[in-house]
């Protein structure tokens, strides 16, 4: 199967992506990981992307498209794949379907979570200042308040996990994703998933939609 997984920051998309890919026996391809791999390897695409990232600019659609399509040509994608973090724009979605013609993407799963719930989840995150281990004040609290279970380091809240930056990230994501949701709905491949549920319940719903 050729699957696109969409979901805002805080929706638990990474956890679900790993579960889906494992269930289907297909590669989980995260665009963020691809960018990091190409930059670390010093590939021409990685250098192109890096020239924008170093200036704090968005990597152009065509660079990301080329990176993803190159990955999809590997042998392990012949039985299908799960894309995570791509496409992010209408241009990327159209380029992907064109490359996968005539069938295109077979299923677009959108994990939907209300904005208020996302802010609540993301602002509860804490990080160890020493070893960078992540925690959450509600779902994964440390044993001792303010201290890392692993190394005893101080826990702190990153600036981008504070309420105002979180709200902005959620707003940006919603603006970017709305056209994609509409695009895949028109194609008849969109399936909405209730992301307010527990991780296990979300996974059960996702696997149920896959089975159909």
pLDDT digits (tens, 9 = 90+) for 10-52: 888 888 998 899 999 999 999 888 988 998 899 999 999 988 8
Verify whether residue 212 is a known catalytic residue. Answer: no
Verify whether residue 36 is a known catalytic residue. Answer: no
In a domain? residue 101: yes
Q: How far is CA 177 from CA 18, 66, 192, in A?
A: 21, 21, 13
Q: Helices (DSSP H) in the chain: which residue ranges?
A: 13-24, 31-41, 44-53, 61-72, 90-99, 115-122, 163-187, 199-211
**Residue 60, φ and ψ in degrees, nearest 5:** -55, 150
What gap in Å lies between CA 193 and CA 17, rounded to an integer? 13
In a domain? residue 41: yes
Q: Which two tokens stand for residue 7?
A: 């979901």
CATH number at residue 33: 3.40.50.300
Per-residue pLDDT tens over the stretch 107-151: 999 999 998 898 988 899 999 999 989 899 888 899 999 999 999
In a domain? residue 61: yes
What's the pTM?
A: 0.83
| Residues counted in the chain | 212
Selected catalytic residue, list 88, 147, 185, 187: 88
Verify whether residue 13 is a known catalytic residue. Answer: yes
Please state at what angle helix 90-99 crosses helix 61-72, rounded to 10 degrees.
Answer: 30
Which residues touch 6 (CB under 8 Å, ≥6 apart)?
Answer: 13, 108, 109, 110, 111, 177, 180, 181
In a domain? residue 85: yes
Selected catalytic residue, list 2, 71, 121, 169: 169
Range 72-77 average pLDDT: 95
In a domain? residue 100: yes
In a domain? residue 9: yes
Domain count, the chain: 1
Is residue 172 pLDDT above 90, yes or no?
A: no
pLDDT at 144: 95
In a domain? residue 12: yes
In a domain? residue 200: yes
Selected catalytic residue, list 2, 71, 121, 125: 125
Selected catalytic residue, list 47, 70, 158, 196: 158
Verify whether residue 169 is a known catalytic residue. Answer: yes
Verify whether residue 158 is a known catalytic residue. Answer: yes
Confidence of residue 89 (pLDDT cuts 50, 70, 90): confident
Note whether 12 and 199 are within 8 A (CB).
Answer: yes
Q: Which domain holds residue 88?
A: 2-114+189-211
């Amino acid at each position: 199967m050729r699957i696109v997984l969409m979901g805002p920051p805080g929706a638990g998309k990474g956890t679900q992506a790993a579960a889906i890919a494992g269930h289907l026996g297909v590669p989980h391809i995260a665009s963020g990981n691809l960018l990091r791999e190409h930059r670390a390897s010093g590939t021409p695409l990685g250098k192109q992307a890096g020239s924008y990232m170093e200036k704090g600019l968005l990597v152009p659609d065509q660079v990301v498209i080329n990176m993803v399509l190159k990955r999809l040509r590997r042998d392990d994608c012949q039985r299908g794949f799960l894309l995570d973090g791509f496409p992010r724009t209408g241009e990327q979605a159209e380029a992907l379907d064109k490359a996968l013609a005539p069938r295109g993407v077979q299923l677009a799963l959108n994990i939907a979570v209300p904005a208020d719930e996302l802010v609540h989840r993301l602002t509860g995150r804490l990080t160890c200042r020493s070893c960078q281990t992540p925690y959450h004040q509600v779902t994964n609290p440390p044993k001792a308040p303010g201290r890392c279970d692993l190394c005893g380091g101080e826990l702190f809240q990153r600036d981008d996990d504070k309420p105002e930056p979180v709200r902005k990230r959620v707003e940006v994501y919603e603006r970017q994703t709305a056209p994609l949701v509409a695009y895949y709905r028109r194609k008849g491949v969109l399936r909405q998933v209730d992301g307010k549920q527990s991780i296990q319940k979300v996974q059960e719903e996702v696997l149920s939609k896959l089975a159909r």
